[in-house]
Structure 1
Amino acid sequence: MINSITLERLVEYGIQAPSGHNTQPWLFSLKEGEIRIYPDFDRAMPVVDSDHHELFISLGCAAENIAIAATSMGLRPRITVMRSKEDRDYISVALKRDSTIEVDELVDAIKIRQTRRNKYEDKEVPQEELQALENSFDFRGVEVLTFVGKREMKEIKPFILSASSKQFEDRKFIEELLQWTRFSDQNAKLEGDGLRAKCLGLPSMPSFVGTTLMKHLISAKSEARRWSQLIDASAGLMLFAVTHNNITHWVRLGRAFQRFALTATKLGISHAHVNMPCEEPKIREALAYRLNLVGLTPLMLIRFGYSDTMPYSERRDVEEVIEKA
């Protein structure tokens, strides 16, 4: 029997997963030898993630964290995408004691991994470490394409800038971003979620000042300039794509990305999302066509390189995310 204390410890690992705007769109249900991860649609992002693919990718990241941590507790995990009698899609992480299980070497990276949205150094990633990133996962239906150096990234950059401009010209996008932006450290700690203003290149400030700034001083052009500088300073980009654009493959992509992110953490390589081209359907289609991605749907774009650490994003308490029986 696996006691509730062990299951709650595993949930603590799960909630360290990344999520869009740090919305933490998950709920956990503890069963006999099982943790179920349900989507919390109250924390969805209907503007940038209208089909919820980013939400389920985040749930896949959380599931992989739990699976990795379970190995350090002598538990063998089995992850399955399920649907309940109430037609609720969820992820089942079934756990079974196994004295022969090998501890996953990525477990120590879970609680120190972070998304670093700052500017990276002008420094290349060694070829052997690039290969380690590319080979960090093996999930059926998930592919990754790597673009290194300014020449290769130049092929992707116009799609990034176009999507960023489109989003910052959309009032609803700005309102959604404001909903999840925490303009002061105090506000971030109080809410336990969201993006710190520092992540957007802004200083800490009162919320009313930040809201005014975002609405009137930050423009599509200024964001395009900022993203251009961030991309030019990156060592490379990795584009994650799936063979089937459905929940099962979104979860697999999340699991794959989490292993990539934890491997990068162990290697001292920074990473951050550049998902805008994948969030805009028409631009996503144009990107897939330009790269000749026959039979693949690109859903996640990551930049990587080397940088200093950033302030860690807040997380809600475990008690807040576990459904009561």
Structure 2
Amino acid sequence: MKTPEQINEIIEYGTKAPSGHNTQPWKFLVKENEIQIHPDFDRELPIVDPDNHALYISLGCAAENMLLAAKHFGYECTVNVVTNDKNISFIKLLLNQTGSVERDNLFDYINIRQSTRNLYTNDKVSSSNIAALQESFNFKGIEILMFTTAEEIEKLETFIIEGSNRQFQNKDFVKELVSWIRFSKKEVAQKRDGIWQASMGMPGVGRTLGNIIMKKFVSASSEAKRWKKQIEASAGFALFTVEKNDVAHWVLLGRAFQRFGLTATQLNISHAHVNMPCEEIQVRNKMAKQFELTGHPLLLIRFGYSKKMPYSYRRPLADVLETP
């Protein structure tokens, strides 16, 4: 028999999912035998994600966490994307408690997975672990392309730097990014969202000084230098593509990426977004042509080895639950 405590736990596992700038753009609605995940458009990123594909990828990540948690508690769970009468798409998880559902051990890594944004060690990832990452999901319409050799990564670097340059030359992008950086522990503890400066290895300087630093001293040139170091230290990159550029595939991509991230965590491999070439549409199109991609490249992830960083905060359950 379902209990409110179990349902709340399943939702809390969903909130551990990654999201762009850690915006946590979700709302959860509980109904009989189902949990719905709705987009919270108050937390959208109109500059970096104008079509909300990254938002729906985040919802897909949350859905996969919740499916794993549901299995852990003995539920059969199906995940569907539906559209309401306002033409807004959301995710519906249908739960059926059987008590005999086969458990997925990726569940054990939900609480310790993180997007690790620091500099990696440049140690190689074994071919068997590369294969495990590639085989971490099997969803029709979602493909993954791995870049692990120096030659492959060098070709990819061109697009990463171009995407970064375009973004940091855009004042609106910088303004949006700065609005989601939490420059002190006090600020992040109060808001419980956004990118905590400590998770990026930055000192706590407070919002006033942080704003000045980001707008006066961080430039396209300085970011390009920083990314060249990050790229050189990464063991490899994973580029995710979707067969169709629509909400259903965005959600499916999120589910695939979450399984990739949990598998990486299981293998003690760090990972983080390098999504600038996917976010800038002109760069995205050039990258698709360069690598002769049949699908749309919407997510780029670097991976390698590094120490853990402070964990990003999450909002409490009361803030993300909707009442029927």
Q: Deviations over 1:245-278 (max 9, x none)?
A: 0000000000000000000001000000000000
1:156 is paired with a residue of what secondary structure? helix
- Return the alpha-carbon distance in structure 2 between the equivalents of residues 317 and 46 of structure 1: 25
Q: Give the CA deviation at 1:33.
A: 1.1
Q: CA deviation at 1:202?
A: 2.5
Match of 1:315 in 2: 314
Equivalent residue, structure 2, for 1:3:
3
Deviates more, 1:169-178 or 1:80-89: 80-89
Matches within 5 A, 1:153-302: 153-294=153-294, 296-302=295-301
Instruction: Verify: 1:37 aligned to 2:37, yes or no.
Output: yes
Q: Distance in 2 between matches of 1:100 and 1:195?
A: 39
SS in 1 for 2:307: coil
State the TM-score, normalizing by the size of structure 1.
Answer: 0.98
TM-score (norm 2): 0.98
Amino acid paired to 2:314: R
Partner of 1:145, secondary structure, is strand
8 Å Cα contact 1:119/1:233 also seen in 2: yes
Quote the sequence identity (%): 47
Q: 2: CA distance between counterparts of 1:24 and 1:248?
A: 19
Partner of 1:123: 123
> How much does 1:206 deviate?
1.2
1:199: Cα distance to partner?
4.0
Give distance in 2, aligned partners of 1:201 and 1:265.
20
- Residue 188 of structure 1 aligns to a residue in which SS? helix
CA shift, 1:38, in A, is 0.2
SS in 2 for 1:263: helix
Whether the 8 Å CA contact 1:4–1:30 is kept in 2: the answer is no
- Deviation above 4 Å: which 4+ runs of structure 1? none
Asked if the contact 2:199–2:312 (Cα under 8 Å) also holds between the matched residues in 1, the reply is no
Residue 42 of structure 2 aligns to a residue whose secondary structure is helix
Query: Is the Cα contact below 8 Å between 1:148 and 1:236 reproduced in 2?
Result: yes
Contact 2:271/2:301 (<8 A) preserved: yes
Q: Is the 8 A contact 2:199 2:311 kept in 1?
A: no
2:303 corresponds to which residue? 304
Number of the residue aligned with 1:49: 49
Contact 1:192–1:314 (CA<8 Å) still a contact in 2?
A: yes
Measured in 1, the distance between the counterparts of 2:86 and 2:297 equals 31
Q: Distance in 2 between matches of 1:265 and 1:197?
A: 22
**Structure 1 counterpart SS, 2:81:** strand
Alignment coverage as a number of residue pairs: 324
Give the superposition deviation at 1:201: 4.6
Shift of 1:200: 4.2
Q: Supply the distance in 1 between the matched residues of 2:61 and 2:70 (Cα, whole angstroms).
A: 14
For 2:62, the equivalent position in structure 1 comes to: 62
Q: Which amino acid letter does the alignment assign opposite residue 189 of structure 1? A: A
1:324 Cα deviation after fit:
1.7
Distance, in Å, in 1 between the alignment partners of 2:313 and 2:68 is 22
C-alpha separation in 1, matches of 2:150 and 2:198? 26
Q: CA deviation digits over 1:267-317, x for unaligned, max 9?
A: 0000000000000000000000000113x1000000000000001000000
The answer (yes or no) to whether the contact 1:61–1:257 under 8 Å persists in 2 is: yes
Match of 2:70, SS? helix
Q: Which runs of 5+ in 2 are unaligned?
A: none
Deviation at 1:211, TM superposition (A): 0.2
How far apart are the structure 1 equivalents of 2:150 and 2:202? 26
CA distance in 2, matches of 1:196, 1:159: 27
SS in 2 for 1:62: helix
C-alpha distance in 2 between matches for 1:76 and 1:4: 17
